[in-house]
Chains A and B, each alone.
Chain A
């Protein structure tokens, strides 16, 4: 029997319906990137009810398009208005906006698009190549190894979680606790239900995500004032392309940014804004003229944009091969796949090869589409960014409430979404980290299952955790990440970026 491979995935990705899904995702992603106040996780949360009615690969194609599209789109307002559409593009303002003020807005936008494209294509190759390899290694995992992996993931996410490790840990524990509400997965015993029929159903991931990332974000944005002024005239799109030495600089810095973002993006909790900052720092060192950065260096635009897109792409490797999401947006992608009956993990590239390779092939397609969308249509996107938020907010609220209701057709979930929305608002206003809460909620059941299986097999002893080599490696890696982030937090700029990214939806 013919094994479904990458070529089959490419053919499937170029089918008419998948092309339409990819285009829709890219348009939505660019729009989301353009509009301050609407992040990729919010947009995906809003579209969850749509995902429920689509084939699983379609949902992932759309959500993937939104995710990397937002990375492309966020640079437009960063360059033209000094307002990053996404936190990941905040580093781009440092040289992008000065370039716009010098009348080189077109070159800056082109450099951002080219850098993102290089990262996107390289990232897609990496997912297609690394994904099956990681999956094969993961087939050797037993409950002990999975427990070690989950502890590492949670440690990494908490380490990158905003300004306070204490808050990060507390949110993660709260997430695990919330996931335990309902019926125990192994014995069917009701927990924290207090005799309520609705509470026996437990909290579904969809209303929680829609509430925190959708409604919470709307309430937060309504409490803020977002002013934007569009500057710069843009000529025809082909006049924007950098020439000669600028083109060379764009490509080489884009490659360096890709490598930084791609490698670091494999880590759970690693945020695109941080890799963008690190890539920018590298360019300053490599250039030999650090004092010229911040005044319109094209490398200062291409490298961070490449890094943030590479981080976004790299996150799909642990997501598809291990079932571990590395960012809030990928938590939602995972939720959408699970809703459609596909559980990512070690067998993703074998048992669900049709979905996996179609998604990988669509990554190439989406990145090509985004390059086309972001250059010729940049003037249009810049004008769309001026739409007042008050026109969008009611629509988002309406869709979110439907989205919360749709999976289980119960108003209880709508109530959960509203409660989660109120809590999400508080989290945004008070800079309480969201990602550990979401990850704790999503990984809580797996954590409980693997913990109980590990301790059952060992008769209650914790010894397997520190005698199984893979588990030990994960625990050590978690310790290294924790120490490394304590060092990173000594830089105020990096600490600020981590905090803003973790609370962005």
Chain B
């Protein structure tokens, strides 16, 4: 029974989240009505009513989703845990990389990122270095030099 509940939990959380978004939507719609709706300002529907009824649909969908959890056979029946360590670590590393770019600059952050990710994925040292150097070089040349993408400047060094 505990296993069943764990399998249904993600879908229930999704349903509750959708309902919560719906409530937020209705609250913001009421704010727009209060602050902006004046005679002739909006069409028949207006941005407030569209948001309000989308919120209603979200709440109804959320309740339906939460109630249907487990009915059709949730996908969370795999033997692999829902949050295995490898993708979680890679995700956290990618988040740290994104946070580091504005601080230390794109090049420095990227030079740190690729060897770390390759190491987390179990790539051997020599292959890691070769792959990282090649990848960083190609990405830097293609996106920074050729495409001229204006990456954030390194705020720590400026």
Contact = CB atoms under 8 A, between A and B. Distances in A.
Interface of A: 49, 53, 163-164, 166-167, 169-170, 173-174, 176-177, 180, 184, 186-187, 189, 191-192, 215, 218-220, 222-224, 390-391, 393-395, 397-399, 401-402, 405-406, 409, 411, 414-415, 418, 421-422, 425-426, 429-432, 448, 451-453, 455-456, 459-460
B62 A49 contact: no
A431 B69 CA distance: 12
A177 B90 contact: no
| Most-contacted residue by chain A among B28, B62, B110 (CB, 10 A) | B28
Contacts of B110: 398
B80 A401 contact: no
A402 B10 contact: no
A421 B62 CA distance: 21
A151 B150 CA distance: 40
Contacts of A177: 21, 25, 54-55, 58
Given A169-B61, A394-B114, A451-B45, A422 B50 contact: no
Contacts of B102: 411
Contacts, number: 169
Given A430-B10, A430-B74, A432-B75, A405 B149 contact: yes
B41 A397 contact: no
B44 A459 contact: yes
A415 B98 CA distance: 8
A189 B110 CA distance: 39
Given A173-B58, A184-B47, A167 B65 contact: yes
Given A186-B47, A429-B78, A430-B76, A397 B149 contact: no
A452 B45 contact: yes
A399 B139 contact: yes
A167 B94 CA distance: 29
Contacts of B21: 174, 177
A491 to B, nearest CB: 15
Contacts of B57: 173
B91 interface: yes
A429 B75 contact: yes
B82 interface: yes
Closest 3 CB pairs of A and B: A431-B75, A184-B47, A170-B61
Contacts of B150: 409
A399 B102 CA distance: 17
28 contacts: A49-B143, A49-B147, A166-B65, A169-B64, A173-B54, A184-B47, A186-B47, A187-B46, A189-B32, A191-B51, A192-B24, A192-B28, A218-B90, A219-B90, A222-B90, A390-B121, A390-B123, A394-B114, A394-B117, A398-B113, A402-B149, A405-B151, A409-B150, A414-B101, A425-B91, A451-B45, A452-B45, A456-B44
B45 A421 contact: no
Given A173-B61, A223-B80, A456-B43, A397 B72 contact: no
Contacts of B43: 186, 452-453, 455-456
B101 A222 contact: no
A105 B25 CA distance: 57
A430 B91 CA distance: 18
Interface in B5-45: 10-11, 14-15, 18, 21, 24-25, 28, 32, 36, 41-45
Contacts of B62: 170
A395 B135 contact: yes
B152 to A, nearest CB: 6
A191 B28 contact: yes
Given A223-B84, A460-B44, A53 B147 contact: yes
